[in-house]
Amino acid sequence: MKSEIINFLITSGKKRLNSPRTKISFETGIPEAENILNNIEKYSHIFVLSCVMDRQIRAGKALAIPYLVGKEIGGLSHC
C-alpha cells in the first residue's frame, strides 16, 4: 500500500511538472498581487514572504501583505 501511494505521488508530480503552467488564484482580491504571486521566477521572495505571513489570518490577506508593503515602500525590489 505504501509503495502504491509513493508511486502515485511521483507519477502525479512528474505529470504536473511536465504540464503547462496555469494561473493560480490566491484570493487576495488584488489583481496585481495575483500576477506577482504567479510570477514565481521573478518574485520567488514575495511568494516565500507571503507563506510566512500566513499565520492565523485569512490566507488571501496573508498572501497580499508583501505586495501591499512593497507598494507602500515604493516598489517590490525593497521587499
The band of 77, judged by pLDDT with boundaries at 50, 70 and 90, is low
Burial label, 33 (beta-carbon count in 10 A; 0-12, 13-18, 19+): buried
Q: What are the CA-CA distances from residue 57 to residues 9, 32, 49 (Å)?
A: 30, 20, 14
Tell me how far apart the alpha carbons of residues 61 and 26 are, in angstroms, rounded to a whole number: 9
**pLDDT at 79 exceeding the cut of 70:** no
What pLDDT was estimated at residue 29?
Answer: 93
> In the structure, what pLDDT confidence band is assigned to residue 31 with cuts at 50, 70 and 90?
very high
pTM of the entire predicted model: 0.63
Q: Where exactly are the structural domains of the chain?
A: 2-78
Report whether 7 contacts 1 (CB < 8 A). no
DSSP conformational letter for 74:
T
